[in-house]
């Protein structure tokens, strides 16, 4: 699978541009603020329907314009597909696939798989559990598109349950309605935890091997799913029973606080190097290596699941990596279409053995390519 072309109209700082990409390696060079990351962002949006930089669609449209457009042509299983997104200041974005308008943005899921690695990925390691849950959810969705609707349904039920808990604080008669939301919460929450646990069980050994290679065997990476309760050796029915037991145990506390204490919305991912929590005790170099290991493991998992490699997007990361990490990352390019942004070309010599195309960008324009 690879992206053949990108067409942008009034997207970020691109008034109108169409770029044809190399099937292997593509390098976008330019100073900061010229639009390099915007190109990666447009591909990511065509894959997931959302940006990896902003939650506000309005920010994607060129200033003083009413609408914007993203068009991405890709080749998947030797078949051409065309993804189009229409962005509008006053309306939700619309999606077409091969000219057919889709009912939901989520219909994009699974058409184009991408993995993006950027300096922002340090947040997965360094910041709060929500970043790690988002990492899990985004990557599981790429492999199992139905997962997104399960998470959306869970969040809707969780909101309804929390709202009811607040009502019960001053109207105890409403307590009898709690069982309705508990039943739905347990059903959906159990599915999420099982899928997350299964994903992490597959991710952990791959990321461990990658990390071991990057560090020349000097470090041991462990990745573990940290759930509201221990899932080891529990089948679906036992998880459901345990879930219900804990909801009952914490019911009084939930009502007092107006929020739900347990469930996948509280879960985390433990990332451990040499028996120490990387978030707390890891150096910045270790944290960056752990993030890279997770992303490259993701590439392999998507290949296992879909039988095709995803497109790899690397946003200004080469300058952040030492020579060993850089060499390992470059070694993955042989199997994956890779799109790289950088402020300088000092690393290009290390990529000379690959078929590639280089673009020079300034102010949202391609000055030239070679």
- What percent of the chain is predicted at pLDDT more than 70? 98
Per-residue pLDDT tens digits for 254-309: 999 999 999 999 999 999 999 999 999 999 889 999 999 999 999 999 999 888 99
| Model pLDDT, residue 158 | 97
| Model pLDDT, residue 349 | 64
Question: Among residues 117, 58, 115, which one has the least CA distance to residue 88?
Answer: 58
Question: Among residues 54, 53, 46, which one has the least CA distance to residue 108?
Answer: 46
31 is in an annotated binding site: yes
| Model pLDDT, residue 345 | 66
Count of positions (residues) in the chain:
370
| Model pLDDT, residue 100 | 95
Q: How confident is the model at residue 86 (pLDDT cuts 50, 70, 90)?
A: very high
Distances (CA, A) of 19 to 43, 70, 279, 304, 323: 12, 12, 39, 30, 31
**H or E element: which one contains 281?**
helix 278-281
Assess whether pLDDT exceeds 70 at residue 99. yes
CA dist., res. 42 & res. 60, Å (int): 9
Q: For the chain, give every residue range classified as CATH 1.20.1050.90.
A: 118-307
37 is in an annotated binding site: yes
Per-residue pLDDT tens digits for 113-133: 999 998 889 999 999 999 999
Tell me the mean pLDDT in the region 176-202. 95
Assess whether pLDDT exceeds 70 at residue 346. no
- What percent of the chain is predicted at pLDDT more than 90? 71
Q: What is the DSSP letter of 50?
A: S
| Model pLDDT, residue 43 | 97
| Model pLDDT, residue 68 | 96
Q: Please name the residue ranges forming H helices in 307-348.
A: 323-331
Tell me the mean pLDDT in the region 2-8. 96
> Is there a contact between 84 and 5 (Cβ–Cβ < 8 Å)?
no
217 is in an annotated binding site: no
Assess whether pLDDT exceeds 90 at residue 226. yes
Tell me the mean pLDDT in the region 136-149. 91
| More confidently predicted of 55 and 356 | 356
Assess whether pLDDT exceeds 90 at residue 329. no
Q: How confident is the model at residue 348 (pLDDT cuts 50, 70, 90)?
A: low
For the domain 1-113+308-370, what is the CATH code? 3.40.50.300
Assess whether pLDDT exceeds 70 at residue 213. yes
**H or E element: which one contains 94?**
strand 94-97
Question: Among residues 220, 208, 370, which one has the least CA distance to residue 300?
Answer: 208
Q: Which CATH architecture has domain 118-307?
A: Up-down Bundle (1.20)
Backbone angles phi, psi at 114, to 5 degrees: -135, 155
> Please, what is the Cα angle at 13 between 7 and 18, to 5 degrees?
20
The arrangement of strands across the sheet holding 94-97 comes to: 14-20, 2-11, 67-76, 79-88, 94-97, 100-101
- What is the residue-averaged pLDDT of the chain? 91
| Model pLDDT, residue 172 | 86
Render 21-32 in DSSP notation, one character per residue.
--SSEEEEE--T
Among 20-29, 48-57, 303-312, 347-356, which stretch is predicted with the lowest mean pLDDT? Answer: 347-356
30 is in an annotated binding site: yes
pTM passes above 0.95: no
Q: For the chain, give every residue range classified as CATH 3.40.50.300.
A: 1-113+308-370
């Amino acid at each position: 699978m690879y992206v053949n072309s990108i067409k942008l109209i009034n997207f970020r700082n691109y008034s109108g541009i169409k770029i044809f990409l190399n099937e292997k390696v593509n390098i976008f060079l330019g100073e900061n603020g010229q639009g390099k990351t915007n190109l990666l962002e447009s591909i990511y949006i065509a894959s997931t329907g959302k940006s990896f930089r902003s939650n506000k669609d309005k920010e994607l449209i060129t200033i003083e314009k009413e609408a914007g457009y993203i068009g991405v042509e890709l080749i998947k299983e030797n078949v051409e597909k065309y993804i189009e997104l229409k962005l509008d200041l006053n309306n939700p974005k619309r999606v077409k696939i091969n000219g057919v308008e889709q009912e939901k943005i989520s219909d994009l899921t699974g058409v184009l798989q991408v993995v993006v690695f950027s300096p922002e990925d340090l947040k997965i390691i360094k910041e709060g559990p929500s970043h790690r849950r988002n990492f899990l959810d985004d990557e599981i969705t790429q492999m199992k598109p139905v997962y997104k609707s399960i998470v959306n349904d869970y969040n809707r039920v969780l909101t309804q349950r929390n709202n009811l808990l607040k009502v019960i604080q001053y109207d105890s008669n409403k307590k009898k309605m709690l069982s309705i939301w508990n039943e739905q919460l347990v059903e959906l929450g159990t599915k999420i935890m099982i899928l997350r646990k299964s994903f992490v069980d597959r991710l952990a050994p791959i990321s461990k091997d990658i990390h071991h290679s990057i560090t020349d065997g000097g470090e041991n990476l462990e990745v573990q799913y940290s759930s509201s309760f221990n899932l080891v050796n529990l089948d679906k029915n036992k998880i459901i029973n345990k879930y219900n037991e804990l909801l009952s145990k914490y019911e009084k506390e939930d009502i007092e606080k107006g929020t739900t204490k347990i469930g996948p919305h509280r879960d985390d991912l433990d990332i451990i190097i040499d028996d120490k929590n990387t978030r707390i005790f890891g150096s910045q170099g270790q944290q960056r290596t752990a993030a890279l290991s997770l992303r490259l493991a993701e590439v392999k998992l998507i290949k296992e699941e879909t039988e095709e490699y995803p497109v790899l997007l690397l946003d200004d990361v080469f300058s952040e990596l030492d020579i060993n990490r850089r060499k390992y990352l470059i070694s993955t390019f042989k199997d994956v279409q890779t799109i790289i942004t950088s402020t300088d070309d000092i690393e290009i010599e290390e990529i000379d053995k690959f078929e590639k195309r280089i673009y020079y960008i300034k102010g949202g324009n391609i000055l030239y390519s070679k």
